[in-house]
Amino acid sequence: MKRVILGSIVLALATAFSSCQTRKPPEEKGDQETVQQTGFTPGAAISRLHFDGGSYPDLFASSTYAVWVDEAVTSLRREAAVQAGETVGAEEEAEAVRIAREYVIVECHLDSVFSDMSIGYDAVGFRGLQVYLSTPDGRKIAPIQTLIGTPLKTEPREALKLFGRTNLVVFPKHDLWLGVPLVGKDAPSVRLVLEGHQSVFYFEWPTGVPAAPTPTVSAGEAAEVLKVGFREFHERVRQLAHIFG
pLDDT at residue number 34? 42
| Cα–Cα nearest to 197, from 54, 58, 61 | 54
Residue ranges of alpha helices (H) inside the chain are 2-22, 30-38, 71-83, 90-102, 117-124, 222-225, 230-237
Mean per-residue pLDDT, 32-60: 83
pLDDT in tens, 91-105: 888 888 888 888 999
Q: Of 162 and 184, which is predicted with more confidence?
A: 162
pLDDT in tens, 126-161: 999 999 999 998 999 999 999 999 899 999 999 999
Kindly report the number of other CB atoms within 10 A of residue 29's CB atom.
Answer: 7
Kindly report the number of other CB atoms within 10 A of residue 154's CB atom.
Answer: 11
Determine contact, residues 21/43, Cβ cutoff 8 Å.
no
Sign of CA dihedral 24, 25, 28, 32: negative
DSSP code, position 219: G
Q: What is the C-alpha to C-alpha distance for residues 233 and 80, in angstroms, rounded to an integer?
A: 13
199 has pLDDT over 60: yes
2 has pLDDT over 50: no
Kindly report the number of other CB atoms within 10 A of residue 231's CB atom.
Answer: 17
Question: What's the one-letter identity of residue 208?
Answer: G
